[in-house]
Structure 1
Amino acid sequence: MTPSPPRPAASAPAAPGPSAAGRAPDRGERARVEVFGIRHHGPGSARALRRALEEYRPDAVLIEGPPEADDLVSLAADPGMVPPVALLAYSPGRTPSPDGAEGTGRQAAFWPFAEFSPEWQALRYALGAGVTVRFCDLPAAHQLAQRQDQQAPGTPPDGDGPRPAAERPAEQGEAPGIRLDPLGWLAQAAGYDDAERWWDDVVEHRRDGPSPFPAIAEAMTELRARLAEPPEPERGLDPLPPGYLRREEQREAYMRRTLRRALKDGYERVAVVCGAWHAPALLEKVPAARDERTLRGLPKTKVAMTWVPWTHGRLAGASGYGAGVRSPGWYHHLFTSGDRPVERWLTEAARLLREEDLHVSSAHVIEAVRLAEALAALRGRPLAGLDEVTEAVRAVLCEGNDLPVELIRRRMTVGERLGSVPERTPMVPLQRDLRAEQRRLRLKPSAIDREYDFDLRKPLDLDRSRLLHRLRLLDVEWGVPQEAQGRSKGTFRESWTLLWRPEFDVALIEAGVWGTTVREAAAARAEAAAAQATALAELTSLAERCLLADLGDALPAVMRALADRAAVDSDVAHLMAALPALVRALRYGDVRGTPTGPLRTVVDGLVVRVCVGLPPAVTGLDDDASREMLGRIDAVHGALSLLGDGGHTDRWLRTLRGLADRDGDRAVHGLLEGRLVRLLLDAGRLDDAPARMARAVSVGTAPDRAAAWVEGFLAGGGLLLVHDDDLLRLLDGWISGLPGAAVAVVPPLLRRPFGGYAAAERRAIGERVRRLRGGAGPAAPRDDHGGEDNGEDGVDAGRATAATATVLRILGWEAPA
């Protein structure tokens, strides 16, 4: 496996030593303050930090993080707080105006914690030991204010926590500077060409031995000192965003201010836990007045803080998280496995593969362990790492197949763990209402895709469906209906795929301005959307969603807007596009018990207007426009069949019959005419379909129009040809009698309808043709004068009879004796 790029710079571990800040602190000062530079989300750092804190026994712990969260620290000790979790800072924003416009300027950021995060272990140690714990990074009020005009460096697009640019790995192929990738420099000095592998070997895979913090702190101090030496500029250029160095200076100034305040409050032994890059700066002698000048005049915004569940997948660097790791599931395993982590990992991988009905025995596991350990020994590693374990899995457990390896990567290496927060966590009312609904409906959030089939005739399943549809109106896509993917089409059954993502909590917080319950907020959001909608299709979709969500309070406003828009829209294409969704909504109303009187009035008006406007709309269409119109006609025809209204169906079929009867210059495009004849034939409104096809494919009709007519007629399925011998014989005779010039044109045009048939239908049509011919093969092609065509190459079909008979015998087309 190819190793991932080096880890972010500020995530390297460090700690204060005699040279941690380029000087030797006196004995009394070192006794009062210890700075532990760590790597974010590193199991080795977390394990070493826990041991160091137990040895140092501080009476105050300062942790890199937003100080607004100090009041939430006690929740980390609650049994209901199960990592991975994240601190969420958000700007409350403005309440929507009466016209439905939403407030602007809303910001949010996350500070994630896993069980193997050193900051989480520092929190749990402090709470367990009963000592004071505070966060010491630049307040979120300042960080979010800075992000309003410019995205904070290192923050991925979805807001996964503000992290400095130095915590991002260098781009492949560039020469990273010290600030951007200090781990790469340290790995190079140690003789490694991969910073990730070096870090795992010296820190993450360590279980015993001396603390790594003093040595890494000394290295970080040296690297920072090299940055300050003008004669020796660093190799390469740091691609730092504008203002990055200024913001880092502000962060470190605020950390020093918090440290001074803790000492002033009388704490005798203070432990500071921060990213390794910052550790030397916190022990540097900087005048307080200088830090105050650095922090003066910072922009500020109103923020609120809370805890939210997180997932291992969102801790992965592949998710875009600036301080992410490539294998959170593997790191969790290293941290929680007391002994023999390789054996336990491979055993779990074997169990996962057996659950997928793949044959994996205990002998496979034993051989995989031996291979992983042998690879580690050959590469000089203290413990088989993820690369060695993955290679052993691929070679032994998966026998070289990459597909099950990808399953293990997704389910184990990255992991699908979803954390939880206790009930007393601060939440907006909308979040609490959703949690109550989840308990009532027995729908538990999960980081794994879960499939649900709802029977809408059952009250529990009906309420579940309504909840998920209401959440979709609030842009919380917890559930995705499979009907949207082209699957379920029943009116009383629904299939859903449920997957909870952490950002849904932000969406719920933002949606809290619409109401305190999910139903109330969804109704208010629907009314606002109806007031702003300008397209008829948008309003019909909104009406359908309101019926699915059982939002009777919002439906009148949506229907008024829909009726007003439909009354002034003269585009038949828009009316035809809107009708199927409204008919589906009527059917949903029948099953769900939702009143649909106003919606029925709109549907009645649309059917009449479509029937009146369709004849002029299909006149003079080219090939592309005809194909688009064919789709609309099919959709309206299917919708009216679903509606089951005899009056509307009769009016529609009369309109189609009028279009199909056109001839001469008024005739519609061949594709449409063929489709109209087929629809009328299926509806029992036509008894001369063979005669119409005979005229459409006659010698006097242009081959391209005849092919288009046949394509339209055959669209939607080939069973008609299987059961109607007259039509099949007519079609076979037309194709067999095509003139030589048309042979190269017509068959490709017919490939589209026949290619869309199921294999069983095509096979049945072929068998039917063979029986109609009495078992003989295809008829000989004819020339333009009705005689046998010798072809352009001069082949005489009569002389080729013997060869033809042999080929037909091989193909099974030999005529019966």
Structure 2
Amino acid sequence: MDNVNVFGVRHLSPSSSYHLLEFLEKIKPTAVLIEGLYDANEHISSIVNPKNKAPLAILAYTESLPVKTILYPIASYSPEYQALVWANKNNVHSSFIDLPSDVVLMLDAIEVKKDEESSQEESKSNKTYIYNKNSLYERIAQIYDEPNYETFWERNFEHNLDLDSYRNMMNEFCMQMRQLIEESDAVHDRKEYARNLIREAFMRRQIKNTIEAGHKPEKIVVVTGAYHVSALNMKLSPMSDDEIKALPRTKTNITLMPYSYYRLSSQAGYGAGNKAPFYYQLMWECLIKGDLERLPALYFTNLVRDLRKAGTYRSPAEVIEGVRLAKSLTYMHKGKIPTLIDLQDACSVCLGQGKKSVVAESMMRIEIGTEIGHIENGVSQTPIQDDFYRKLKELKLEKYKSTVAQDLVLDLRENRRVKSEKLAFLDLKRSEFLNKLEFLNIDFAIEKKSSQDRASWKEEWILKWTPESEIQLVEAVLLGNSIEFATAFKLDEELKECEDIAEASELILKACKCGMSKAVDDARKLVQGLSADAEDFINITKTLKNIYQVISFGSLRKVDTSNLIEIVEQLSLKLNLLMIDSCNCNDDKAKEMVKAMAYIDSIIQDNDIELDGELWIEKLTELSDRDDRNPKLSGYAAGILLEKNRMSEQQLSQEISRRLSIGIDVDLGAGWFEGLASRNHYTLISKLIILEKLDEYINSLEDEEFCSALVFLRRTFSSFSPEHKRSISENLGKIWNINNEESEEEVLKALEEIDEESFADLDDFDFGDI
């Protein structure tokens, strides 16, 4: 039993895979045992299936709430993957031998609970633990004069091409690292140490079982993280039957899923990942071809190809110089092959011309990569995948599961030309299904947003399937075993955490479009509860908008919305009472207030719900008369009243004279006019009195005041169409007693003079600070 071959690796290491394959060919084992979830053995055949493509990941998750997960990503250059592929190719027994997922996740739950209890005790006793596991790695990098630990590892291990040297260095290095970590007094190390003892005892038991099954120790190769090599010495006791039975467990499910290099990278938050998955794939390709020295050139050519796609051209001479510089940098560190950081520095100098920002985006793509794994349909599918494909077939959407984007137009109304109820509401069910996918962040269906605020019977979608969509679908199983359950769970969770009335109303709308009646009612109750304390005019308007859109569906979506009418009435009353105070705001807030007021007015004009229109007119009239509110909003209120014939021409003339008169601050006057004109362009054109008063006002301004007013006036008229501007010039002709051609020429001449003066002022302008 002492003769078992234990091969220490680093996860996601191309060099580990390279030397492991050499070692396997040398030993010719009859059994290959691999550190990995014991209950994932049923998925080995799928992992090595040539129709499936790495990167892949083994996902395990608990059946009970809250859902806990563990993830084991596998790249094409992972030692574990290469060991499985070699075993399959040579008809050799292979097996994962680490703790099963039900034990791992239960141990995680126990540790989390103990951590919470410890933190509570620490807060009581004012004790804190200062622990930084990375400090040891940082110290190693400093000793070897490397910028970081990853560069130290790459230079000393990834570039070591001698099998015996690599194994000896790896085992010795990791054994000493383990000793240093185990001697640490940090509480986190104690827990990790205890966890490792359990894992290693379990793995020793699986090695023992393999020997008892008839495999000779010297014909067994154990592939494990180098940290565990010294502990898999079979002189140590394996775990007994009683100890295995005593292990804490929880119910779990386990599946195989496609994965992506971005998710594999440490940038996406994966702790055991690396910063450059695709770079290491390039390294792996060079290693298996026996030409690692080709890596710098391969890196540069891939980078230049990406730059060219983005429109940045770099010559072959610059690539050659870049490779030479990278080699020179590595020689300074007594290395033979440039590391990633050497290549990055050389790229910044030779391809970025001294600026890393020029090549940073391309470097990121080349280092991380866009590779996404693939798994054949029906292989290791989760319940939610089964439900998804069943729904695709049921809703006749199978042809849309394509990598080519396709448009789908839905008519949510009942189709009376068919006999079956299932077909009559087919598009409605499709809509609910696609809305659920969108809510679950599964990027298969994207709705084309309508410019209309109100709901309608028509929906337009863009459907496109990608491997990333498959990953998102698998991850959704953490929320539920079907699309329906996952949507219900997510809606419920978001409602529990929601404390904002507008966000709660958005959940009403989402739940309605997903066909989730219970969630609609739960969200309605939440909105009612939050409405009592709500005082933000903009937020309440957003709430009103969302709820009114749901009501506008009527019976179209088969969701009872009768209980929502009372909320709309309450919110409408509240908005009327809050409006005057809310209009005491700055210009930035005024822009939002204008949109909110426009929407409220459109709802009150609608006959679907009887709201207090007279109270709204009363508040608009009060706002229009107020001088102590934002002038743009007072002007906008006047514009609404004018549009509704609630302001006579005499009242309008008096108001313009009051607002646009000498003695009134020009910013206030011009701001008020901007609000008035922004409501309805036609009103400004049709009411000659407005332009007459404006003409008088402008002529009364001093030069400095005119320049200040000009900002508002140009902003006001910039949104007018050419036809509207032509009509204004005609009306100005009437005021100035000139014909249409002369008035238009006068207006254009004045604008040209203003533009020329503006450009002349730029001659002496200092652009250095921009």
- Normalised-by-shorter TM-score class: 0.7 to 0.9
- 2:263 maps to 1:314: yes
Task: Deviation per CA, 1:167-210: give whole Å up to 9, x if none.
Answer: x9954xx4x2xxxx4x964x677675644233223432355665
Alpha-carbon distance between aligned partners in 2 of 1:503 and 1:654, rounded to the nearest angstrom: 55
Residue pair 2:103, 2:248 contacting (<8 A) in 1 also: yes
Alpha-carbon distance between aligned partners in 2 of 1:486 and 1:148, rounded to the nearest angstrom: 49
Equivalent of residue 271 in structure 1, options 214, 221, 233: 221
Q: How does 1:310-459 map to 2 (within 5 A)?
A: 310-337=259-286, 338=289, 339=291, 340-435=294-389, 440=397
Aligned to 2:584: 623
SS of the aligned residue for 1:148 comes to: helix
Alpha-carbon distance between aligned partners in 1 of 2:564 and 2:380, rounded to the nearest angstrom: 46
Amino acid at match of 1:434: F
SS of the aligned residue for 1:111 comes to: strand
Equivalent of residue 250 in structure 1, options 194, 198, 205: 198
- 2:243 maps to 1:283: no
- 2:667 maps to 1:694: no
Relative distance call for 1:149 and 1:616 in structure 2 (3 A) is same
Q: How does 1:275-674 map to 2 (within 5 A)?
A: 275-283=225-233, 285-288=235-238, 297-337=246-286, 338=289, 339=291, 340-435=294-389, 440=397, 467-474=433-440, 476=442, 493=460, 500=468, 504-505=472-473, 507-513=475-481, 516=482, 518=483, 522=487, 537=502, 540-549=505-514, 551=515, 554-555=516-517, 558=520, 562=524, 576-585=541-550, 594-595=556-557, 599=561, 615-619=576-580, 623-624=584-585, 631=592, 634-635=595-596, 637-638=598-599, 641=602, 647=607, 656-662=616-622, 669=629, 671=631, 672-674=633-635
* Cα displacement (A) at 1:37: 0.5
Relative distance call for 1:137 and 1:605 in structure 2 (3 A) is closer
* Cα displacement (A) at 1:694: 2.2
Alpha-carbon distance between aligned partners in 1 of 2:71 and 2:556, rounded to the nearest angstrom: 41
Alpha-carbon distance between aligned partners in 2 of 1:465 and 1:249, rounded to the nearest angstrom: 53
Amino acid at match of 1:131: V
Alpha-carbon distance between aligned partners in 1 of 2:354 and 2:444, rounded to the nearest angstrom: 36
SS of the aligned residue for 2:11 comes to: coil
Aligned to 2:80: 119
Q: Which runs of 5+ in 1 are unaligned?
A: 1-27, 94-103, 155-167, 780-805, 813-817
Task: Deviation per CA, 1:125-169: give whole Å up to 9, x if none.
Answer: 122222222222233222211222444999xxxxxxxxxxxxx99
* Cα displacement (A) at 1:45: 0.7
Residue pair 1:618, 1:626 contacting (<8 A) in 2 also: no
Task: Deviation per CA, 1:569-616: give whole Å up to 9, x if none.
Answer: 6879576433322454577x59xx9447955x6787677666666554
Relative distance call for 1:714 and 1:273 in structure 2 (3 A) is farther
Relative distance call for 1:324 and 1:604 in structure 2 (3 A) is closer
SS of the aligned residue for 1:37 comes to: strand
Amino acid at match of 2:309: E
Relative distance call for 1:207 and 1:721 in structure 2 (3 A) is farther
Relative distance call for 1:456 and 1:341 in structure 2 (3 A) is farther
Alpha-carbon distance between aligned partners in 1 of 2:367 and 2:253, rounded to the nearest angstrom: 34
> Quick check: 36-45 or 519-528, which moved more?
519-528
Alpha-carbon distance between aligned partners in 2 of 1:810 and 1:192, rounded to the nearest angstrom: 56
Residue pair 1:313, 1:416 contacting (<8 A) in 2 also: yes
Equivalent of residue 89 in structure 2, options 102, 110, 128: 128
* Cα displacement (A) at 1:110: 0.4
Amino acid at match of 1:417: E
Aligned to 1:75: 46
SS of the aligned residue for 1:87 comes to: strand
Residue pair 2:57, 2:73 contacting (<8 A) in 1 also: yes
Alpha-carbon distance between aligned partners in 2 of 1:243 and 1:40, rounded to the nearest angstrom: 22
Q: How does 1:765-784 map to 2 (within 5 A)?
A: 775=750
Alpha-carbon distance between aligned partners in 2 of 1:126 and 1:677, rounded to the nearest angstrom: 82
Alpha-carbon distance between aligned partners in 1 of 2:520 and 2:232, rounded to the nearest angstrom: 59
Aligned to 2:767: none
Q: Which of the two has greater helix per residue? A: 2
SS of the aligned residue for 2:479 comes to: helix
Relative distance call for 1:736 and 1:151 in structure 2 (3 A) is farther
Amino acid at match of 2:51: G
**Percent identity of equivalent pairs:** 22
Residue pair 1:547, 1:555 contacting (<8 A) in 2 also: yes
Alpha-carbon distance between aligned partners in 2 of 1:724 and 1:718, rounded to the nearest angstrom: 10
Amino acid at match of 1:310: Y
Relative distance call for 1:639 and 1:56 in structure 2 (3 A) is farther
Relative distance call for 1:510 and 1:524 in structure 2 (3 A) is closer
* Cα displacement (A) at 1:85: 0.8
Aligned to 1:140: 101
Relative distance call for 1:115 and 1:445 in structure 2 (3 A) is farther
Alpha-carbon distance between aligned partners in 2 of 1:347 and 1:773, rounded to the nearest angstrom: 56
Residue pair 1:454, 1:462 contacting (<8 A) in 2 also: no
Alpha-carbon distance between aligned partners in 1 of 2:563 and 2:77, rounded to the nearest angstrom: 59
Residue pair 2:13, 2:79 contacting (<8 A) in 1 also: yes
Task: Report the TM-score, using the length of structure 2 for normalisation.
Answer: 0.73
Alpha-carbon distance between aligned partners in 2 of 1:247 and 1:626, rounded to the nearest angstrom: 60
Q: How does 1:682-721 map to 2 (within 5 A)?
A: 688=649, 689-698=652-661, 709-710=672-673, 712-713=675-676
Aligned to 2:418: none
Relative distance call for 1:685 and 1:359 in structure 2 (3 A) is farther
Higher relative contact order, chain-length normalized (CA < 8 Å, sep 6+): 1
Q: Which runs of 5+ in 2 are unaligned?
A: 116-130, 413-424, 733-742, 763-770
Equivalent of residue 36 in structure 1, options 7, 30, 45: 7
Task: Report the TM-score, using the length of structure 1 for normalisation.
Answer: 0.69
* Cα displacement (A) at 1:418: 1.3
